[in-house]
Amino acid sequence: MSSADILVIGGGIAGLSAAAAVSKHAKVTVLEAEEQVGFHSSGRSATMLHYFLGDRVVRELTLASRGFIEHPPAGFTEFPLGHHVPVLIHAREEEGAALDALEAEIRLFAEIDRLDSRAVHGLCPLLKDDAVHGIADRSAIRLDPHALLQGNLRRLRSHGGELLAGSRASSITHANGLWTVTTEKGESRSAPILVNAAGSWADQVARMAGVQPLGLEPKRRTIITFDAPAGAELDGLPFAKTVGDELYFAPESGRLFASPMDEVPSDPCDAQPDEQEVALAAWRMEERTTVRVERIHSKWAGLRTFAPDRHPVAGFAPDAEGFFWLAGQGGFGLQTSPAMAAIAESLIARTPWPVADVSAAELGPARFG
């Protein structure tokens, strides 16, 4: 058996960024079930930083993460963590009131341009003529998930921490103030603090540890890629989204990608695209734009896991000493990871609280008690 100060179950962006942050204060070991980091949700995201996801809490966490993304610490990465891409929210005439309400919320966090029909189509010529209203955030960021994951891994190792890939937990016990995790390989690690950052499997990990689960809900989301219309200029096209949760699309490696923004309940698994959602993505793309989806080049799906109130969860379990929840990042795990890592560091290492407008109680697991 090998010991550490902190064990982290999960090598996605949540677990890896938190491990990197707390490794400045303690010996940290990350146990990742797969052979690579970010295999599930973190590697299957639309990878944007913008303020049109979630509510005030999510937006505050996104805002608090922005400085890290734009100006990462020295030595964190050799590559930019992202580049600026405009986000366009477009609406039909009958959706104008919903757009007004969304604009009022987002103006608290970003500079927003209000667009008439001409400006909407100037920014995104692929939209049909019925897209007559829009708002644009021209400072959104297309994130590089690989750079984020590898930067955190580098930071973890620079502080003496370790990642053990291919280490799926088979049992978790607690005795004499220590959590002991035994993997399917028969190897054991122990520590007084266990961080549950297992994504869609977080409730399963809690049950294995004898801790009350939170009622987390994994939901599948599907993305397809396909050819843009002949002669279409993709450079400068925005990440475009309907004002309701119906469709988003954007350029992707010389093609377009699109999602019907599906949220299909799922068991924790290696999510695979369902043909019904694939067809829905193509249909909605053709219904909202002038693009014909003639052939789908690729398709994939990922799980986005939500707490009952759709806020992330960070904090020690009220029913288990040293068991720390870090879960429920939904579809905003990448863009909030710097703030969430700093919050985990604050709660575990007792450093100053990093996000003034979000309280520990708003994120703590005790709120579900």
Band the pLDDT of 335: cuts 50, 70, 90. very high
CATH architecture assigned to 2-63+145-215+309-368: 3-Layer(bba) Sandwich (3.50)
Per-residue pLDDT, averaged over 50-69, amounts to 96
Side-chain-facing half-sphere of 4: CA atoms under 13 Å: 28
pLDDT bin (cut points 50, 70, 90) of residue 70 is: very high
C-alpha angle 311-348-178 in degrees, rounded to nearest 5: 110
Residue 1: is its pLDDT beyond 60? no
pTM of the model: 0.95
- How many beta carbons lie within 10 A of that of residue 368, not counting itself? 15
Closest C-alpha to 334, from 76, 142, 155: 142
Identify the pLDDT of residue 148.
Answer: 95
Run of H or E including 304: strand 296-306
Q: What is the 3-state secondary structure (H, E, C) of 312-343?
A: CEEEECCCCCCEEEEECCCCCHHHHHHHHHHH
What backbone phi and psi angles, to 5 degrees, belong to 56?
-55, -45
Locus of tokens 């937990």: 169
Q: What is the Cβ-side half-sphere exposure of residue 314, based on CA atoms within 13 angstroms? A: 27
- Is residue 155 a contact partner of residue 19, using CB atoms and an 8 Å limit? no
pLDDT recorded at residue 74: 92
323: nearest Cα among 222, 197, 135, 165: 197
Mean pLDDT of 206-234: 96
> Rounded to 5 degrees, what angle do the CA atoms 40, 42, 46 make?
110
pLDDT digits (tens, 9 = 90+) for 7-53: 999 999 999 999 999 999 999 999 999 988 877 666 556 689 999 99
Decide if pLDDT at 209 tops 60. Answer: yes
∠ at Cα 205 (45, 189), nearest 5°?
105
Q: What was the pLDDT predicted at 43? A: 58
Domain range annotation of the chain: 2-63+145-215+309-368, 86-139+217-305
Look at residue 107 and give its three-state secondary structure. Answer: coil
| The pLDDT of residue 76 is above 70 | yes
Q: What is the mean pLDDT of residues 154-178?
A: 96
Stretch 130-145: mean pLDDT, rounded? 96
Predicted local confidence at residue 90, as pLDDT? 98
Q: What is d(CA 322, CA 210) in angstroms, rounded to the nearest whole number?
A: 13
- State the average pLDDT for the chain: 95
Q: What is the DSSP letter of 143?
A: E
Q: Pick from 364, 354, 338: which is nearest to 21 by CA?
A: 338
Helix or strand holding residue 250 (H, E): strand 248-252
Is the confidence at residue 3, as pLDDT, over 90?
A: no
Would you state the pLDDT for residue 46?
66
Q: Does domain 86-139+217-305 have CATH number 3.40.50.2300?
A: no
Per-residue pLDDT for 119 more than 70? yes
Say which residue the tokens 């190897």 belong to.
187
- Cα(10)–Cα(327) distance, integer angstroms: 10
